[in-house]
Amino acid sequence: MGQAIWLDFISRELLESGELRRLVREGVTGVTSNPTIFQKAISSGSTYDDQIRQLAREGADARAIYTALATRDITEAADTLRPVYDETQGRDGYVSIEVDPALAHDTDGTLAEARRWFQSIDRPNVMIKVPATPEGVPAVQTLIAEGVNVNVTLIFAIDTYEQVMSAYIEGLRARQAAGKPLSTVGSVASFFVSRVDTLVDKLLDQHADAGDTSFGGVRGQAAIANARIAYDRFKHVFEGEGFAALRRARARVQRPLWASTSTKNPAYPDTKYVDALIGPDTVNTLPPATLEAARDHAMPARTIDMDVDRAYAVIE
């Protein structure tokens, strides 16, 4: 169907047990992480204890310890996925690590930390997660121009997504003007899905409690509609003439990545945000439980561009 499946999880146990290698053999082509995932991994079990003790003896503070632990895991994961990166000529095989969320509203701080991660891990298939905040988007443009792979994260709104695509394209143009290759730069735009339904459904419940049931027909539909509109905008931008010159220069499209695709509402099917968002030039990053559910009973069919007119109507 042209969709890549990435794993939204990382841990030392996943790496040392060979589980990630198994998942890669079975078709997983990337890994995403965030500080919350690392926090859960580090606090579960004892696989990090020896390294933590050694770092503490050396006088490392909490931040330095986290950096060392994350660097080791991301580097090993990147090495595990390197064959995928090579076989797909840089289309897949990426491992994402996020800049400190405290820097979300600090462009210069984001740039400094993104460069630091990219240089210290020193793998061509590491991707730095940068939030799509007003301060993060300019950093995306600069990083792309510098050749840093970027996973633009925390995208919820279509207008924000338009800004993200523009930043990517302007970054590529700056890189091209500097005479640097475009084919070596990868980027995805992470559109958060289930959390949209969580918020919208809550608002719909409030309307219903107040006696207004006119919006009841869109319950559980806003997230998928929002993502389908995003894909429609993606096609308009990257299949259009505005990207043609960059495409001829071997630039890659910035694929939409569907994030937050585990269902938060137990009343919804566990593969709701998998089945409805399948299509070419997309990525879906799945936590382990959702990945297993998808392998067991997902419905593999192109669905991302179904009922697009209805999607616009739902959001409007």
User: Tell me: the pLDDT tens digits for 246-278?
Assistant: 999 999 999 999 999 999 888 899 999 999 999
Residue 183 in this model has a pLDDT that exceeds 80:
yes
Residue 148: closest CA among 73, 97, 103, 109: 97
User: Residue 155 burial (CB < 10 Å; 0-12/13-18/19+)?
Assistant: buried
Calculate mean pLDDT across residues 293-299.
Answer: 94
Is 235 one of the catalytic residues?
Answer: no
Share of the chain above pLDDT 70, in %: 95
Q: What is the pLDDT of residue 215?
A: 60
Calculate mean pLDDT across residues 97-122.
Answer: 98
Q: What is the pLDDT of residue 119?
A: 98
What is the token pair recorded at 157? 């709104």
Query: How far is Cα of residue 50 from the mean position of the Cα atoms in its chain?
Result: 31
Non-local CB neighbours of 230 within 8 Å, separated by 6+ positions:
155, 158, 161, 191, 256
Q: Which domains, ranges and CATH numbers included, belong to the chain? A: 3-315 (3.20.20.70)
Calculate mean pLDDT across residues 30-34.
Answer: 98
304-313 pLDDT, tens digit each: 999 999 999 9
CA dihedral 291, 293, 298, 302 (to 10 degrees): -20
Q: What is the pLDDT of residue 166?
A: 98
State the catalytic residue, choosing from 129, 180, 264, 272: 129
Q: What is the pLDDT of residue 202?
A: 79
Cα angle 45, 48, 49; round to 5: 85
